[in-house]
Amino acid sequence: MKILKFIPIVLAMILSLSTVSVAESKSEIENDANDALQQFYNEVNGGKKYLEKANAYLIFPDIKEAGFFVGGKYGEGVLRIGNTSKAYYSITSASIGFQMGVQKYAMIIAFTSDASLNKFLLNDDEWETDVDGKIAMAEWNSKEELDPKYEESMVAFTFDSTGLMGSFTMEGTKFKRIRPD
């Protein structure tokens, strides 16, 4: 029953994480995305070539995640096609299960096929990974160059991680188009 006392605290943490990011403007999202992209290029050998050959990519420069049995994450980012910003999106996730911690990280999702990009754009306002598609998490060695073979139609890269989060959960992630100032 002591766990039940912590649930309101965790929900308050999640709410505070999501409200901090909601007020970002287009210029703030763009600046943060450019910084994250540069860091990605510096950390991932061949990352620039990989994204140049992708159909599009979605940059979330600052995703915040917290949880204690119940958890969530939130971030805002930009969709770029041919290095041109086309739209802005938020990523929201809720989870339940064995989890504890707080972390912050950046994520880039590369759309490597026309079909995956069109499916994402077709659901203009909301898109859920559990329902509408699967995203493969990329694994790479920082000493090796990223191979631009596209075996999956959507590939996610996480980097610039701070904090610690351990989890074994059931999770649903939703992407929603936003219109910042």
- Model pLDDT for residues 32-56, shown as the tens digit of each residue: 999 999 999 998 888 898 899 999 9
**pTM to 2 decimals?**
0.76
Low-confidence ranges of the chain (pLDDT < 50): 1, 4, 17-21, 130-133
Range of the structural domain that residue 105 is part of:
2-178
Distance separating alpha carbons of residues 74 and 179, to the nearest angstrom = 16
Q: How many domains does the chain have?
A: 1
Distance separating alpha carbons of residues 17 and 64, to the nearest angstrom = 6
Coil, strand or helix at 121: helix
Distance separating alpha carbons of residues 139 and 179, to the nearest angstrom = 32
Write out the two tokens for 36: 């994250």
Coil, strand or helix at 15: helix
